[in-house]
């Protein structure tokens, strides 16, 4: 068995370690790129959303590298994500690929479903499965999120622009290479020391902007055209609300236990959108309102073209902007989008929030 899987943020890190640890060959597709996008778009329906095309492109690249087993997600829900796996599997078979697809339905039973999924895949004991999940989610994935949080804070303050990004780009391979808690603790100290050594501008006072929107688009730097980096090097601190560890806590644990999550966000959105439209539509509206009252200077909303939940939220947004007086940059992305146009919009938005910040201070 040679396993591959599509990218989703730093999710590849614990997956690679899991398979390496148990002696199963794992093919990690190349980081999503223009080639990935072109491959995915070529074999996708034109109307389907951008993440579908990127995920399909990842799978094609993984299969071309010798994989014979594809891991994917699926399940119920209003968003088309739940049916991606079936369509992608049929498309790949129509293209002539011979493979097995193993689908994880996180909505079935949360963390229990994940444990059963891993045990079925690897044939391990329950003790080994629980240990692997703890190390992957609470160890490696948590460390990756901690590093990225720190990098986001450093970007607008560093004197040598790009220093934090250089450390971040190599962090995934370094974290994926460790297999014990002691190694992980040592690596955490090493990377923290490297980030702390970056020279910062003591006079920097960057405005804070939140990056919201469709979960996959917010996580994937290629899909959102590295908008975090573009804003960071222009002196803006970007705070993203989408994190894999938060998602795992909410959907794999709290939801399974019936405890619910995101009550404050849903309450804030209720005057504008009172029902679940799936995806991140309700979260986007609620978080925009809450973040305004937490002192954020603006919001960047990224979404894939044709995404129904995000389109619904986007059409309600003008009322939220008017009543709460917060600047919002809406970025709708697909394979037709060019980076030059995005950079121009980012520069104008940064100029807007910096002027507002100066006026507020005077």
Determine which helix (DSSP H) or strand (DSSP E) holds 144, and give its type and residue range: helix 142-154
Residues 6+ apart with CB under 8 A from 186: none
Q: Mind listing the pLDDT tens digit for each residue in 218-272?
A: 999 999 999 999 999 999 999 999 999 988 887 677 666 666 657 888 899 899 9
Distance of CA 15 to the CA centre of its chain: 16
Q: Is the dihedral of CA 94, 95, 98, 100 positive or negative?
A: negative
Q: What is the DSSP letter of 46?
A: T
Q: Mind listing the pLDDT tens digit for each residue in 116-166?
A: 888 888 888 888 988 998 999 899 999 999 999 999 999 999 999 999 999
| Residue 208 near residue 296, CB atoms below 8 Å | yes
Q: What is the pLDDT of residue 284?
A: 83
pTM of the model: 0.90
b/e map 56-85, b = 16+ CB within 10 Å: bbbbbbbbeeebebbbbbbbeeebbbbebb
d(CA 177, CA 17): 7
| Residue 154 near residue 31, CB atoms below 8 Å | no
Residues 6+ apart with CB under 8 A from 156: 204, 206, 231, 232, 233, 234, 235, 236, 237
Residues 6+ apart with CB under 8 A from 228: 152, 155, 211, 221, 238, 240
**pLDDT exceeding 70 applies to what percent of the chain?**
95
d(CA 314, CA 211): 14
Query: What would the mean pLDDT of 4-11 be, rounded to a whole number?
Result: 94
| Residue 70 near residue 63, CB atoms below 8 Å | yes
Alpha helix locations (H) across 220-307? 227-232, 244-247, 263-269, 281-293
| Residue 181 near residue 189, CB atoms below 8 Å | no
| Residue 74 near residue 46, CB atoms below 8 Å | no
CB atoms within 10 A of CB 274: 9
d(CA 73, CA 94): 20
Using the predicted structure, report yes or no on whether residue 86 has a pLDDT greater than 70: yes
């Amino acid at each position: 068995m040679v396993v591959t899987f599509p990218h989703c943020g730093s999710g590849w890190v614990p997956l690679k370690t899991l398979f390496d640890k148990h002696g199963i060959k794992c093919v990690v597709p190349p980081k999503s790129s223009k080639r990935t996008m072109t491959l995915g778009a070529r074999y996708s329906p034109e109307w389907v959303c951008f993440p579908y095309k990127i995920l399909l492109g990842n799978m094609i690249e993984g299969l071309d590298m010798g994989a014979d087993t594809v891991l994917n997600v699926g399940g119920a829900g209003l968003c088309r994500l739940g049916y991606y796996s079936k369509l992608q599997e049929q498309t790949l078979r129509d293209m002539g690929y011979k493979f097995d697809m193993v689908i994880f339905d996180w909505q079935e039973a949360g963390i229990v479903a994940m444990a059963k999924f891993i045990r079925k895949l690897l044939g391990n004991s329950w003790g080994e499965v629980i240990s692997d999940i703890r190390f992957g989610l609470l160890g490696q994935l948590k460390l990756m999120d901690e590093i990225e949080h720190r990098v986001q804070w450093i970007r607008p303050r560093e004197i040598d622009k790009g220093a934090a990004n250089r450390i971040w780009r190599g962090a995934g391979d370094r974290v994926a290479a460790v297999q014990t808690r002691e190694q992980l603790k040592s690596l955490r100290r090493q990377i923290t020391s490297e980030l702390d050594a970056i020279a910062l501008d003591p006079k920097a006072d960057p405005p804070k902007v939140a990056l919201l929107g469709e979960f996959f688009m917010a996580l994937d730097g290629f899909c959102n055209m590295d908008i975090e980096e573009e804003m960071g090097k222009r002196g803006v601190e970007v705070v993203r609300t989408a994190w894999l560890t938060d998602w795992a806590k909410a959907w794999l644990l709290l939801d399974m236990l019936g405890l619910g999550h995101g009550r404050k966000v849903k309450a804030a959105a209720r005057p504008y959108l009172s029902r679940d439209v799936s995806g991140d539509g309700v979260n986007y509206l609620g978080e925009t309102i809450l973040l305004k009252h937490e002192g954020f200077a603006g919001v960047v909303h990224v979404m894939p073209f044709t995404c129904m939940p995000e389109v619904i939220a986007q059409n309600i947004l003008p009322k939220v902007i008017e009543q709460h007086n917060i600047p919002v940059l809406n970025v709708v992305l697909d394979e037709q989008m060019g980076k030059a146009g995005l950079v121009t919009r980012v520069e104008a938005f940064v100029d807007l929030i910096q002027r507002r910040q100066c006026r507020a201070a005077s």
